[in-house]
Structure 1
């Protein structure tokens, strides 16, 4: 029987371009958990402890805010995105 390693997007988020495209694709999904999960993946790829510190959050608080089903406050998401160097823009469809 063939054995497969579990897929982890973090293994492929090794550049700014990859992270940007990954987050943009996740944001297109109407399910907010998809974007939150993608933010978590990008934060893990860059080092959760470092990102939490840069965002002024505890590492445990950041993990909790980025779990599926969590309803993080806008302020938390904004601080996280700022620490990741990510900016959302608005455009017409």
Structure 2
């Protein structure tokens, strides 16, 4: 009997759902990409993946007080979510924004 194939995305969602610390580390690393306009899509898609892991986009949107369509659009590769949307989604999945100093090499 053959095992059903699981997509990389499905496996990723399952791992993030099972390990909240991994979800935080995953999202933290991906959010660093938001600084680079050429790589911004990676951060938005990572937040979307975490939202899928924590109940699905529909449930997260409802709890965050955002329409599902707006959340899909905001967390798409070309999305441009507002600060209000980012904060609401992060809060819904049990996370929050924080600020860290940028690590710069000394001259």
TM-score interval, normalised by the smaller of the two chains: 0.7 to 0.9
Pick one of 40, 45, 48 that aligns with 1:37.
45
* Structure 1 runs (4+) greater than 4 angstroms displaced: none
TM-score, length basis structure 2: 0.73
Deviation for aligned residue 1:5: 4.6
2 CA distance for matches of 1:61 and 1:90? 26
2 CA distance for matches of 1:16 and 1:42? 10
1 CA distance for matches of 2:88 and 2:6? 33
Residues 71 and 6 (structure 1), Cα distance of their counterparts in 2 relative to 1, 3 Å cut: same
Partner SS state of residue 8, structure 2: coil
Q: 5+ residue gaps in structure 1?
A: none
For 2:88, the equivalent position in structure 1 comes to 79
Deviation for aligned residue 1:51: 1.0
Pick one of 62, 79, 85 that aligns with 1:53.
62
Give 1 or 2 for the bigger CA radius of gyration: 2
Q: Which has the higher contact order (CA 8 A, sep 6+)?
A: 1
Partner SS state of residue 69, structure 1: coil
Aligned length: 90
2:15 matches 1:12: yes
Deviation for aligned residue 1:6: 3.1
TM-score, length basis structure 1: 0.83
1 CA distance for matches of 2:31 and 2:76? 16
